[in-house]
Structure 1
Amino acid sequence: MRRWKTLRVYCGSCRFMLYKYKKGGTGSLIKVHPDRVLHDFTTGMDVTCPECGNEFARKKLYRGKMVNYLLSGRTFNRN
């Protein structure tokens, strides 16, 4: 049984909430899987902040699925 931790992901520059996300495992949040997003405050898994326009992630292919790789220092999260 996998234990999920719910995180709130914020923009690093304007503090706008981007996602509520179910994270599995330990360590820092590196990539965002679209199927684990509980609530998306961006426009359809967009990689720019809707408030300030800052690019916080890059879309890449991971094991056959498109995921958002978060750019270091552009986001922060809280429980």
Structure 2
Amino acid sequence: MAKPNKKGPVRTVQIACAKCKTPIFKYRKGGKGALVKCFKERIVENYTTTPCQCPGCEQPFARETLVRGAPAYKIIGGKVTMK
């Protein structure tokens, strides 16, 4: 399986909790579609203290997984917003 390229896209998006609006990640996202997964190597700034849990309301927003051989967070639908 092909891995995602290391440098990745240039456009960064701010990812926040949908419930409490606390910032979670600053992420280099490619494409125009919905946020389904976040590759760990593309995260620019990580505001979480424990993986996959919102730092504000402690709700889980993702699951850790391997996608195409690279570690990633698989986002649970409706748990995060993206700007």
Which category describes the TM-score, using the shorter chain as reference length?
A: 0.7 to 0.9
In structure 2, what is the equivalent of residue 75 of structure 1? 80
Task: Report how far residue 49 of structure 1 moved.
Answer: 0.6
Question: Structure 1: how far apart are the matches of 2:15 and 2:9?
Answer: 19
2:46 to 36, 40, 46: 40
2:29 to 23, 34, 46: 23
Secondary structure class of the residue paired with 1:4 = coil
Task: Report how far residue 26 of structure 1 moved.
Answer: 2.2
In structure 1, what is the equivalent of residue 57 of structure 2? 52
1:4–1:25 CA contact under 8 A, matched in 2: no
Q: What is the RMSD computed on CA atoms of the aligned residues? A: 1.5
In structure 2, what is the equivalent of residue 6 of structure 1? 12
Question: Structure 1: how far apart are the matches of 2:54 and 2:15?
Answer: 11
The code of the aligned residue for 1:38 comes to V
Q: How does the TM-score come out when normalised to structure 1?
A: 0.87
1:60–1:68 CA contact under 8 A, matched in 2: yes
Task: Report how far residue 61 of structure 1 moved.
Answer: 1.2
2:9–2:28 CA contact under 8 A, matched in 1: no
Cα deviations across residues 27-65 of structure 1 (Å, max 9, x unaligned)? 111111111111100126x10111111100011111112
Gap regions ≥5 residues in structure 2: 1-7
In proportion to residue count, which structure has more strand?
Answer: 1
